[in-house]
Amino acid sequence: MFKIGDKIIYPMQGAGIIDRVEEKEISQVKCNYFIINMVNNTMQVMIPQDKISTSGIRPVSDEETLELVLQSFSTDDAQLGDALNYKERYQTNLRKVKSGDLKEGSEVVRDLLLLNSKKPLNSSEKQMLNTAKKLLVGEISLIKNITEAEASNLINSVIA
């Protein structure tokens, strides 16, 4: 399914690149692990090869999907606004961010930015926005092969 050099998204961790496969012995059991270098930080993640299909890891999205996602920032499709109370909104956003899906994560960014333009976000929602935006920036940087700063600027230009 995955191979060395593949660009991946690991839900709640972000974008990464499969660097190598290593055999490790843990608790006297030998297993092959994918070693993934995360792009948002210097962290490396080890995932057993036989568990990768159940880990939620997916390939990065393609350019076409990204363009549709970026277009959604300029539409009035924001779903959350004031329709849900804080707790429901937070749970909905958390589920979307945990999904690791590009579209759902971008909806969290879009909806919280819209909400923030109407009223200040509380600290939990600010943290949620920062997390979702960081994950979005990481995926955009891999899709477009640009730096995270350039990806962040791209998001900001679409939002403006």
Q: How confident is the model over 41-52, as pLDDT tens digits? A: 889 999 999 999
Summarised one tens digit per residue, pLDDT across range 61-78 is 999 999 999 988 876 655
Spacing of C-alpha 12 from chain mean position:
6
Q: Give the predicted TM-score (pTM) of the model.
A: 0.87
Q: Give the side-chain half-sphere CA count within 13 A for 10.
A: 23
User: What are the chain's domains?
Assistant: 7-59 (2.40.10.170), 63-159 (1.20.58.1290)
Calpha distance 149→7 (Å, rounded) = 19
Least confident piece of the model among 47-61, 72-86, 104-118: 72-86
CA distances for 140 relative to 4, 13, 66, 73, 120, angstroms = 20, 15, 8, 14, 27
Three-state secondary structure string covering 123-152: HHHHHHHHHHHHHHHHHHHHHHCCCHHHHH
Secondary element (H or E) of residue 63 = helix 63-72
Rounded Cα gap, residues 3 and 66, in angstroms:
23
The mean pLDDT value for 149-158 works out to 91
